[in-house]
């Protein structure tokens, strides 16, 4: 049997592209909705454990199932030991042949390389944005004006950190951290 596995990283992502490509060539499809970096992938684990000798594990793209070249190659060895092959549908790679095995190995390495390059480009882009004064990440829950007001009320003894945090709907630690950031920033300007 050809058993298809497809994964989307979030519940908001649509698996239609993978379903459309795998449905015509698979006997069964199994969909997982979570990050490839998740420590446990229950659908994947169930599918792998249910495969029988002679079955083919079918994926559309290598990164839909594996996090690294090591993951991909180790799983290929485990499955081959059980008499199971892997097929990467979008590249027409089938590990039941020697040629398919070598292409699978090369693709595994290239996929890991591309992930590393993407990570580096993302880090470089974020650093370039920071150098230009762009704020990275979520906006602060409490504005600078609110922090200055809270800091003044604390200094005047008008309210405790817990009271002010509750007033602004944040954890006391968040308020303390933001006051510290504002003080550090103010110190740099003087």
Q: Are strands 28-33 and 2-8 parallel, antiparallel or unpaired?
A: parallel
CA atoms within 13 A on the CB side of 8: 12
Return the C-alpha torsion angle 51, 53, 56, 57, nearest 10.
30
Paired tokens of 182: 């504002």
Which active-site residues does the annotation give? 9
Supply 39's token pair. 């420590």
Q: Looking up tokens 């309210």, which residue turns up?
A: 159
Name the β-bridge partners of 93: 88
Judged on CB neighbours under 10 Å (0-12, 13-18, 19+), 153 is middle
Output Rg (C-alpha) for the chain, integer angstroms. 25
């Amino acid at each position: 049997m050809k058993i298809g596995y497809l994964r989307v990283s979030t519940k908001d992502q649509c698996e239609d592209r993978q379903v459309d490509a795998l449905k015509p060539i698979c006997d069964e499809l199994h969909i997982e909705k979570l990050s490839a970096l998740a420590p446990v992938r229950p659908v994947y684990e169930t599918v792998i454990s249910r495969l029988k000798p002679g079955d083919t594990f079918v994926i559309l793209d290598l990164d839909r199932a594996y996090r690294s070249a090591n993951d991909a190659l180790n799983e290929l060895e485990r499955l081959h030991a059980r008499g199971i092959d892997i097929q990467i549908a979008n590249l027409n790679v089938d590990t039941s042949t020697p040629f398919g095995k070598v292409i699978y190995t090369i693709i595994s390495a290239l996929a890991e390389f591309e992930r590393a390059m993407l990570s580096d480009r993302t880090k470089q882009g974020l650093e370039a944005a920071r150098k230009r004064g762009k704020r990275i990440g979520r906006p602060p829950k409490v504005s600078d004006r609110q922090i200055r007001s809270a800091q003044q009320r604390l200094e005047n003894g008008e309210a405790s950190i817990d009271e002010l945090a509750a007033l602004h709907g944040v954890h006391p630690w968040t308020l303390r951290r933001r006051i510290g950031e504002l003080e550090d920033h103010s110190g740099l300007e003087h």
